[in-house]
Amino acid sequence: MTALLLPGHDLIHDGIADLARGVESVSALLVSIGAPRLRRAGLSMSPPLPAPEHRLYTVLSRADPATAHSRYNALIRRLVSFERALECAS
């Protein structure tokens, strides 16, 4: 099974592409958070952005402070789910 078939692959793929282009996006920050585990599972990517947890929360807070915490947690859950599925598929 390839990473493209796993749930959440679109978010991870976009984040890896954004990192390669030097774009700080929600996806790039999320991939930066998961970079060590994603690399161990076989994905290659550009160096992660610094302090991604804090920066992701800040970006989400600017967009909508009332829902930033729940959206942050949902994104982290998607990342962890993808990482686990990728590790199982490897």
| pLDDT tens track for 38-83 | 999 999 999 999 999 999 999 999 999 999 999 999 999 999 999 9
d(CA 90, CA 88): 6
Any residues with CB less than 8 A from the CB of 53 and at least 6 apart, and which?
33
What tens digit of pLDDT does each residue of 1-47 get?
456 678 889 999 999 999 999 999 999 999 999 999 999 999 999 99
DSSP 8: T
Tell me which H or E stretch contains 16.
Answer: helix 9-21
